Amino acid sequence: MLLLNICYVFLMITNVTAQFVLPGGNNTPTWKECVDFYQELDHLSSIAGFAEVGTTDIGKPLHLFVINSDRVFYPELFDRNKTILMINNAIHPGEPDGVNASMMFAQQLLDGSPTSLEFLKHVIVCIIPIYNVDGALNRGSYSRANQNGPAEYGFRGNSKNLDLNRDFIKCDSKNAATFNQVFSRIKPHVLVDTHVSNGADYPYTMTLITTQSDKLGGSLGHFVKSKFEPALFAEMEKAGDKMCPYVNTMGRTPETGLVDFFESPRFATGYAALFNTIGFTTETHMLKPFDKRVQSTFLFLKVLMNYIQANHDEINAAVQKAQEETLKMDHYPIRFELDTTKRESFEFNGYEAKEKVSSVGGGERLYYDHQSPWTRKVNWYRKFKVGHEVMIPDYYIIPQAWTEVIERLQWNGVDMERLKGDTVFEVFGYRIIDSSTGHGPYEGHYLHSEVETEELKMKRQFYKGDFLVSTRQVALKYICHVLEPQCDDSFFAWNFFDSMLQQKEWFSDYVFEDIAEELLKTDQKLKRDFEQAMKTDESLQDNHWNQLYWIYRHSPYYEKTFSLYPIFRMSNHRID
């Protein structure tokens, strides 16, 4: 009876919504039209649920559409024996191909066909129709200068002018705060984030970013690279829409070789990988007509659906094994480097890149000659090696003062214990020795990179209410990445602890003269070290203030908390 009802109502829905979802048009729905569409599906199907799951910076709700044959729409109650597929659309609303394609995909899944019903026996589908609601409401026709349609579309930045595909760790937006919480509730096995690419010109409509296998790591990384990803490429080609890897080139043009895009956790799939979620980013080609790009994205979702249907048990087992491997990790890689000594090859279809005199002001300009197509094998650099790793502690201790850090850990489902009383622990800490800081703002921050630290062992006082975070939990990778200061998207890198980098106490030189003289008289080691520094450190020569400051920094008067990273690492040994 349910099957008949579903088939009947979708005869009605197709007539109502075809203007938004059928291929061939050059239009993408507005945010309200998209919401209305999913509300109608929710109303007409008993196995679909549409709900507000949080808010956005512009004050509008963020929605989640769930298709579940169990008729269970609260993620906490999902049958975890099913594979959970999550699709995120319009993180960049000027790239709306996935918005249309997901509407088509949702409609197909609810059409009552044997294929859809069989798929939904094993899979729960969660769709965020439009993630960057703010940008979607800022609609126009000119912000995507390189893109071929649609007629109108949204803007890349949200209402705080943030690129939300750089916000998954720092969470400056309410959108990202909501996403963190929704993602931690859903716990998807597979995430798809839909985009439109920029860059070179080539014949492919669809290019794909797969979670970088070395970063995903372990047996899951091997499974994705050796089985999952190749099957998607093969099936897309078999369906008549040959796909290629995301065209991230070694040089200016594709023939110089392709490099795997290393999506750090600021990006959607990089963030998801911290929780052993398999991530794919679809990147349709900007110069292809909008309807063709939508069809290609829709086809990818169908190919993905077929693979998940045929291999759901293997996908679940691979993710479960990755979770078990995570719990056994004793080292965490905090830095990766491209290994240019190892490469694969990809048979690439391209156009000859040429130069000619520009008709705009003269000078040479690049163009791709469609009359000179070529097919050849290009180098594909896919191997990233660990540049540096750290031993994972049993616990991190976070003083309760750092509320922004604590709330982000909570949003991501991190289990934490609060100290029941004032306590002294023997801990290891870091002092920040050096870092490189951006000269201009990047997504509202002056990002730190190339962070250098020294490790310190100390006894330190902690207080009732401070947070003890065990690393023996499935969120281990997330915990390590955000709390280890040398990681590329750590909370330190995103300026959460910059107040620790400012010295609070100083001295008056004419007063400290007498103190410095006395220190050199009574501390022979200090005196020897100072004399040696005077010989080797050019900054001390002919600069009396620097000389005094050197003594000050090596004296008991110098503040011990300056540049001391305020998150501490601890073994199981406790000192009372």
Q: Residue 313's CB: how many other CB atoms inside 10 A?
A: 11
Q: What are the angstrom distances between the C-alpha of 414 and each of 128, 181, 345, 409?
A: 23, 11, 40, 5
Choose the final residue of a domain: 370, 385, 400: 385
Burial class (CB in 10 A: 0-12, 13-18, 19+), 304: buried
Same domain, 130 and 254: yes
Predicted pLDDT of residue 575: 40
Q: Is residue 334 situated within a structural domain?
A: no
Tens digits of residue pLDDT in 470-492: 999 999 999 999 999 999 999 99
Cis, bond preceding 129 (omega within 30 deg of 0): no
Q: Is residue 366 situated within a structural domain?
A: yes
Predicted pLDDT of residue 397: 98
Q: Residue 473's CB: how many other CB atoms inside 10 A?
A: 16
| CA–CA dist 156, 171 (Å, integer) | 17
Same domain, 188 and 279: yes
Predicted pLDDT of residue 110: 96
Residue 537 has phi, psi (to 5 degrees) of: -100, 110
Tens digits of residue pLDDT in 6-33: 333 333 343 333 344 444 589 999 999 9
DSSP-assigned letters across all residues of 64-122: EEEE-TT----GGGS-TTSEEEEEE--SSTT-THHHHHHHHHHHHHTS--HHHHHHHHH
pLDDT class for 5, splitting at 50, 70, 90? very low
Same domain, 231 and 292: yes
Same domain, 61 and 94: yes
Predicted pLDDT of residue 11: 35
DSSP-assigned letters across all residues of 311-366: HHHHHHHHHHHHHHHHHT--EEEEEEEE-TT--EEEEEEEEEEEEEE-TTTSSEEE
Answer whether 287's CB lies under 8 Å from 279's CB.
Answer: no
Q: Is residue 100 situated within a structural domain?
A: yes
Indicate yes or no: pTM above 0.85: yes
DSSP-assigned letters across all residues of 119-173: HHHHEEEEEES-S-HHHHHS-BSSS-TT----SSB--SS-TT---GGG-TTT--S
Predicted pLDDT of residue 572: 72
Same domain, 366 and 265: no
| CA–CA dist 106, 65 (Å, integer) | 9
Q: How far is CA 220 from the centre of its chain?
A: 18
Q: Is residue 558 situated within a structural domain?
A: no
| CA–CA dist 571, 64 (Å, integer) | 41
Q: Average pLDDT for residues 158-165, to the nearest whole number?
A: 98
Tens digits of residue pLDDT in 233-270: 999 999 999 999 999 999 999 999 999 999 999 999 99
Single-letter amino acid, residue 113: S
Predicted pLDDT of residue 361: 87
Q: Is residue 575 situated within a structural domain?
A: no
Burial class (CB in 10 A: 0-12, 13-18, 19+), 555: middle
Residue 403 has phi, psi (to 5 degrees) of: -65, -35
Q: What is the 3-state secondary structure (H, E, C) of 516-553?
A: HHHHHHHCHHHHHHHHHHHHHCHHHCCCHHHHHHHHHH
Predicted pLDDT of residue 566: 98
| CA–CA dist 61, 570 (Å, integer) | 41
Tens digits of residue pLDDT in 504-545: 999 999 999 999 999 999 999 999 999 999 999 999 999 999
CATH of the domain at 283: 3.40.630.10
| CA–CA dist 520, 541 (Å, integer) | 18
Q: Average pLDDT for residues 93-112, to the nearest whole number?
A: 97
Tens digits of residue pLDDT in 537-566: 999 999 999 999 999 999 999 999 999 999
Tens digits of residue pLDDT in 367-385: 999 999 999 999 999 999 9
3-state secondary structure of 501: helix
Q: Is residue 301 situated within a structural domain?
A: yes
Same domain, 495 and 513: no
Tens digits of residue pLDDT in 436-461: 999 999 999 999 999 999 999 999 99
Burial class (CB in 10 A: 0-12, 13-18, 19+), 523: middle
Same domain, 114 and 22: yes
Same domain, 101 and 214: yes
Tens digits of residue pLDDT in 400-424: 999 999 999 999 999 999 999 999 9
Predicted pLDDT of residue 362: 85
Q: Is residue 559 situated within a structural domain?
A: no
Q: Using the 8-state DSSP alphabet, how is residue 267 labeled?
A: S
Residue 145: pLDDT over 70: yes
Q: What are the angstrom distances between the C-alpha of 23 and each of 112, 212, 364?
A: 21, 32, 39
Same domain, 357 and 381: yes
Please report where in the chains the tokens 């292809």 appear, as a residue: 288
Q: Average pLDDT for residues 42-52, to the nearest whole number?
A: 97
Token pair recorded at residue 150: 């649609």
Same domain, 17 and 129: yes
* Residues recorded for the chain: 576
Same domain, 123 and 228: yes
Q: Average pLDDT for residues 161-185, to the nearest whole number?
A: 98
Range of the domain at 480: 392-500+566-570
pLDDT class for 571, splitting at 50, 70, 90? confident
Same domain, 83 and 213: yes
Q: What is the mean pLDDT of the chain?
A: 94
Predicted pLDDT of residue 19: 40
Token pair recorded at residue 148: 């071929």
Q: Using the 8-state DSSP alphabet, how is residue 255 labeled?
A: G
Number of separate domains in the chain: 4
3-state secondary structure of 40: helix
Q: Is residue 368 situated within a structural domain?
A: yes
Tens digits of residue pLDDT in 305-336: 999 999 999 999 999 999 999 999 999 999 99
